A and B are shown apart, each in its own frame.
Chain A
Amino acid sequence: MSAQLAATDPHEVADAAGHDHGDHGHHAVVENNFMGLPNIKLAMWAFLGSECMFFGSLIGTYFFYHGKALAGPLPQDVFSIGITSISTFLLLMSSLTMALAVDAMKQRNPATARNFLVITALLGATFVGFQVYEFSHFVHLGLKLSTSLFGSTFYVMTGFHGGHVTVGVIWLSMLALLIHKGKLNPAKLPINVEVAGLYWHFVDIVWIVIFTFVYLLEFIQ
Chain B
Amino acid sequence: MQEKRYAFAAPRDFALAVCFILPQLVVTGLFFFYPAGQAVLGSFFMEDAFGLSKEFVGLENYRRLAESGEYLHSAWVSLVFSLSTVLLSMGLALVLAVTADQAIKGGKFYKSAVIIPYAVAPPLAGVLWMFLFNPSGGAMTRILAGLGVSWNHMLDGDQAMILIIIAASWKQISYNFLFFLAGLQAIPKSLIEAAAIDGAGFWRRFLGIVFPLLSPTTFFLLVVNTIYTLFETFGIVHAVTSGGPAQATSTLIYKVYNDGFVGLDFGGSSAQSVVLMIIVMALTFAQFHFVEKKVAYQ
Asked if chains A and B come from one complex, the reply is no
User: What is the interface of chain A, defined by CB distance below 8 A to chain B?
Assistant: none
User: What is the interface of chain B, defined by CB distance below 8 A to chain A?
Assistant: none
